[in-house]
Amino acid sequence: MTLRWQPTRLALSLMVLSCVALAHGQNHDHDHAHDHAHEGESLEQGKHVHGEVTVNVAIEGNSLAVELNAPALHVVGFERAARSADEQRIVNEANTWLKSGAGIVGVPTTALCRLQSVNYTPPASTAKHPDYRASYLYRCDQPAALAWVELWALRRLKGVEKVEFTVLSGSMQKQLEFGSNPGRIALR
């Protein structure tokens, strides 16, 4: 059995996922009624909907890619620069966590997945509606065992009401919506 890393195909999948997420997002009412002070401001730096996080999963050969995209509100609890030592500590802990890749997703142990790389850059604290975006690449020696995924990251996020979930596996593509606690999500 050949265990070959296929970064090109995987990168392609992620691009497809991003396009899908983008097209999907356009159908949404970007309601920021929670904060009237933000009305009329450009949302270029963060076009998100409070209450919603996005998780994309792509399986290609032995590779499992997971993308997480969450408004800062749900990661640290505010969308501005930290104003106290406590808030700074919360920001630092979020960065440490997302960079570590620990507790992001759970999959069957029989799939023998190991984290290969993390792509995470903290959002600028000056951004309006900053997004925390992180992606994780795993290598799974038994990808056929990838029957489900659990979104462990949600346990650390605050105030999430809806999860936009996309899974791309071979020719199969599924887009699902969940509440704050999707439980175990079937990947087939």
Residues 7-36 that bind Zn ion (CB under 5 A): none
Comparison of 1 and 33: residue with beta carbon closer to Zn ion:
33
- The set of residues, in sequence order, having a beta carbon less than 8 Å from that of 13 and lying 6+ positions away, is 58, 60, 65, 168
Q: What is the smallest separation between the CB atom of 46 and Zn ion, expressed in angstroms?
A: 6
Task: Give phi and psi for 101, each to the nearest 5.
Answer: 80, 5
Q: Is 74 in the site for Zn ion (CB under 5 A)?
A: no
Q: Which stretch binds Zn ion (CB under 5 A): 78-86, 89-97, 102-110, 165-173?
A: 78-86
Residues binding Zn ion: number (CB under 5 A): 3
Burial 13-45 (b: 16+ CB within 10 A, else e): bbeebeeebeeeeeeeeeeeeeeeeeeeeeeee
For residue 106, the 8-state DSSP code is: B
Q: What is the smallest separation between the CB atom of 128 and Zn ion, expressed in angstroms?
A: 8
Q: Which of 14, 111, 129, 143 binds Zn ion (CB under 5 A)?
A: 129
- Residues lying near Zn ion in the complex (CB under 5 A): 71, 79, 129
